[in-house]
Structure 1
Amino acid sequence: MSLTTPTVAATGTPTEPRSIPTKRPFKFSRWFAATGWRHLVGIVMVVFSVFPLLYVLSASFNPNGTLLQSNGLFSAFGLDNYVDLFNTPEQPYAAWFVNTLVIGLTTAIGTVFLGALAAYCFSRMRFVGRRFGLMSLLIVQIFPQLLAVVAIFLLLTTLGDIFPILGLDNQIALILVYLGGALGVNTYLMYGFFNTVPSSLDEAAKLDGAGHARIFFTIILRLVAPILAVVGLLSFIATTSDFVIASVVLVSPERQTLAVGLYQFVSQEFSSNWGVFAAGAVLAAIPVMALFLYLQKYIVSGLTAGAVK
């Protein structure tokens, strides 16, 4: 039902009435069928995602040291687990934290730099074996890194006899292993993004006398900053959360990373301390969360811009 009001023309004679639409009454069934169910799904997914985080955070503040007694979220509160985390000489958490940051940041920076160089070559240069190289990088990623554990162990054992710095129980050797394993997929991801940058920029720079190095460092890197941030973030997360390769390469407790070191708190049969483990996991998540929030503005554009040329 709508209201009508008569209108008067400039000559003073009335014209056809103009209808004013009235507001439709709200119906829950219509709203739920249109958009309401999406809100319901979003709420369920938020609860499903947040509850494990709250559970671990509650367990980290629970002085009882078990997960079974943490069913009541934050029913007991104390900082005993965080104090014990840094007061155990046999399990140097502070050293693990520093090792993880050094290895993760070094691997992320090296992966971004090497991947960007390789992607620039595949995107801007034409040479024999270019397509074969791209396909090889893609095919190699089909095989999981777990299959290479034995080969990595034997390789580092042999190299350690010649170059001790590249042998087992050395962080430099672990960084090199990470760089070699992440180069393929990151190069292919960057290659798609580099193709979105117009080649006319390169040609204009060449007319001004710029070479490939100057074009790459002064022009291209600034335009592909989103994909560099995404690759760096993914590399940092994968490195800090890796357990298999790090547990094979690093043996000494003072050289291990957080993923390997935290396992010691729950691996023993009669002395598992889940409260200290949860406290260590909460602190270990802070660098990843901080880096993710800092690079958040680049993530969406970095992942989608290279999908369509």
Structure 2
Amino acid sequence: MSGATTAAAGASTATGTRRPFRFGRWFRATGWRHGVGVVMSIFAIFPLLYVLSASLNPSGTLISANALFSIFDFGSYIELFDLPQQPYAAWYGNTLVIGITTSVCTVFLGAMAAYSFSRMRFVGRRVGLLAVLLVQMFPQLLAVVAIFLLLNGISDIFPAIGLDSQIGLIMVYLGGALGVNTYLMYGFFNTVPTSIDEAAKIDGAGHARIFFSIILRLVAPILAVVGLLSFIGTTNEFVIASIVLIEPEKQTLAVGLYQFVSDEFSKNYSIFAAGAVLAALPVMALFLYLQKYIVSGLTAGSVK
């Protein structure tokens, strides 16, 4: 009898110490964060859903797409590949070739430059780092006129890398991206202990073997981040690509898709939205594949 009374008293005591749920207290502590998260999610997802809905609406106007997913018609996706004057398939291939080539070359050249600044000591090292940082203060848009005149002059001597050349456009992208990516990689390379390099040198390894066999594997997160950012920036770039590439067969998606909404009397937002949805697939696939490297790659180099 006494045992049962003690158990009941303990249960009542435990029940009495449990705080009742109060919405106001929960909202002040953590609830408002959930509210902010929901609002930001809606703010970010709604434009994507609207574009997807517009791509499935064959009317060709954005006003008729106000009712989300009221019509499901894939005619715009089929028509997108049946327009000879707008070769969407060629634009898609050009974008992938230019984006992949630029990102791979950016990662490779930036990694070599960052390794040199991080591991080697030479005259002008500090000045070079400051110059790399200062150059990035000026956007590449300021050099559009100079880039056009330079490529136009190169076309007379080396047409393969001049105006209306995809190789020339890749070289322009590489020149504009090396500075900021080198500085970003430099901070990450500094987090790798130099004792690893010293141990490899004792075993007879040179700088090239250390760089390709050891360092590149340890800095894989920042390589993935730089490659992803370079690919996204290249595929979304419009101004320089529209100036350098002239022939429709050589243009990229950003330049080619603009033709569907640039004409005053022949705008077709449905085909434009369908092209935009398909253009986003490679970026989404690459982002999901490299997602595990993104957080560590962006934050690890910031402590140096």
Identify whether the pair has TM-score above 0.5, normalized to the shorter chain: yes
Bigger radius of gyration: 1
Q: Which runs of 4+ in 1 moved over 3 A?
A: 4-7, 18-22
The correspondence of residues 1-309 of structure 1 with structure 2, limited to 5 A, is 20=14, 22-309=17-304
CA distance in 1, matches of 2:177, 2:62: 35
1:286 CA displacement: 0.2
Q: In structure 1, what residue type is equivalent to 2:238?
A: F
Aligned to 2:301, the other structure's residue is in SS state coil
Shift in Å at residue 20 of structure 1? 3.6
CA–CA separation in structure 1 for the residues paired with 2:258 and 2:22: 54
Taking only the aligned residue pairs, the percentage that are identical comes to 75
User: Following the alignment from structure 2 to structure 1, what is the Cα–Cα distance between the partners of residues 225 and 49?
Assistant: 27
- Equivalent pairs counted in the alignment come to 298
Structure 1 distance, partners of 2:199, 2:61, is 65
Unaligned runs of 5+ in 2: none
Q: Distance in 2 between matches of 1:192 and 1:5?
A: 66
Could you tell me whether the CA contact under 8 Å between 1:5 and 1:19 is conserved in 2?
Answer: no
Structure 1, unmatched stretches of 5+, are 8-17
Amino acid at match of 1:147: L
CA shift, 1:6, in A, is 5.3
2:64 and 2:160 map into 1 onto residues whose CA distance is: 46
Alpha-carbon distance, 1:273 to partner:
0.3
**TM-fit CA distance, 1:63:** 1.0
Superposition RMSD on alpha carbons, in Å? Answer: 1.7
SS in 1 for 2:73: coil
Q: Deviations over 1:285-309 (max 9, x none)?
A: 0000000000000000000000003
* 1:45-72: CA deviation from partner (whole Å, max 9, x where unpaired): 1111110000000000001111000000
Q: Return the alpha-carbon distance in structure 2 between the equivalents of residues 238 and 225 of structure 1.
A: 20
Quote the offset at 1:267 in angstroms.
0.4
Counterparts of 2:35 and 2:161 in 1: how far apart (Å)? 54
Deviates more, 1:159-168 or 1:108-117: 159-168
- From the two aligned structures, give the one with the greater helix fraction: 2
Aligned to 1:11: none
